Amino acid sequence: MLSYIAAFASVAGMIATRGAELQVTVGGPGILEFNPQSVTANPGDIVTFSFHQENHTVTQSTFQNPCQALDGGFDSGFVPVADNDAGPFPAAQFTVADTNPVWVFCRQTGHCEQGMVFAINPGDQFSAFQAAAMGLNSINSSSTSNSNSSDVASSTAAASQSSAAASVVTVTATVTAPASSSSASSASSAPSSSAQASPPPPAATSMSADHQVVVGGPNKLVFDPANITANIGDTITFQFMQKNHTATQSSFADPCVSLSESSTNGEIGFDSGFMPVSDNATSFPTFTIQINDTSPIWAFCRQTNPTSHCGAGMVFSVNAVEGGPNNFAAFQATAIQLNGTNSTTSVSSDNGSSGPQVDYARSVVAAITVVLSFVIV
């Protein structure tokens, strides 16, 4: 598995020098804890969270509500790690901005309530923080693995509406398909034993290219460019502009439905999650995927408020076979014809407010690398 590489940093005051790096293990076989459970850090220090077995998150909360995501706080998203994964393990890095306490929990259902919490600079308050978490009812947990993007959307939405600078989020997701995968699922793999035995993806070479794709913008519901050709090892970086969009993998047959939802055999598609960007933003979040197969990849924006962006033609493709029936124009025409009506995803409003989000599968054979920089509010 390729590892996540994540960085959460304050846009308002970037640390000029790199501090100490503090290692924290998240989970493990039969383990529901952060190890260590708290650290003392100085501004500029980096806390590296290494995700081990099962499916966990690193999500900022508050002392008063240990098991509820903080609006505008950082969130790694769910990071599934297979039981037979021997590493290297995915990791997320948090850059400490000041000496104030930072409270963290795992938002997998029931994990926080079993004491799976963490703190940076808690002083003598960690025991009270953990006790409060273990005394909460599970309904206070803000998310489960089946709705794990809602908190990300709500927290980033709040950040975009706050007086703080806009969040800067960089996410890198690498997904691998078995050689037998169809074109509709070329960028994902089913969580089957055969998929788990698939060889690792080819490494990017010095000749690999990064393709820049602009998502949205003032009064724009487009990916620009909307159709590209990429080679194995290339990366595609989606840069999210104004309003609130996603880059979500789908299939040719169901343009406006995430691949994770439409697949009949458990395939997992990439999804950036909602990326709210205010009209006056000067920093723009990005999401990067790496190409491991030259089969076509189909994607769309799953925003549906006030209308379906996918239904308006906001779709994207990689390596579409333009000489055949499954070309980009046909894909976009299908999306417009359906007007997003087959989409079972829900919405996060254009102004940054959030609603229920698309479900994420708990297990994934694909390797996903995530780099996140968040404003801590």
Domains of the chain, by residue range, sit at: 7-148, 170-359
CA distance 169 to 167: 6
Nearest to 238 by CA among 191, 199, 287: 287
Nearest CA to 275 out of 288, 264, 263 is that of 288
The backbone torsions φ and ψ at residue 170, rounded to the nearest 5 degrees and listed phi first, read -120, 125
pLDDT value at position 226? 96
What is the token pair recorded at 45?
């220090």
Query: Strand 91-95 to strand 7-8: parallel, antiparallel, or no bridges (unpaired)?
Result: parallel
pLDDT of residue 182: 30
| 3-class state of residue 128 by DSSP | helix
- Terminal Cα-to-Cα distance of the chain (whole angstroms): 33
What's phi and psi for 250, nearest 5 deg? -135, -155
Query: Across the beta sheet with 315-318, what order do the strands follow?
Result: 227-228, 315-318, 297-300, 248-250
Q: Residues 239-272: pLDDT tens digits?
A: 999 999 999 999 999 999 998 888 888 777 888 8
Quote the tokens at residue 27.
Answer: 């989970």
How many angstroms separate the CA atoms of 330 and 253, rounded?
10
Judge whether 7-148 and 170-359 match in fold. yes
Which pLDDT belongs to residue 13? 39
pTM over the 0.85 mark: no
Fold of 7-148: Immunoglobulin-like (2.60.40)
Q: Low-confidence residues of the chain, pLDDT below 70?
A: 1-18, 136-207, 340-377
Q: Assign domain 170-359 to its CATH superfamily.
A: Cupredoxins -  blue copper proteins (2.60.40.420)
Identity of residue 88 = P
Query: Between vectors from CA 272 to CA 23 and to CA 363, what angle results, nearest 5°?
Result: 65
How many whole angstroms separate alpha carbon 285 and alpha carbon 242?
A: 10
User: ∠ CA 354-358-364 to the nearest 5 degrees?
Assistant: 135
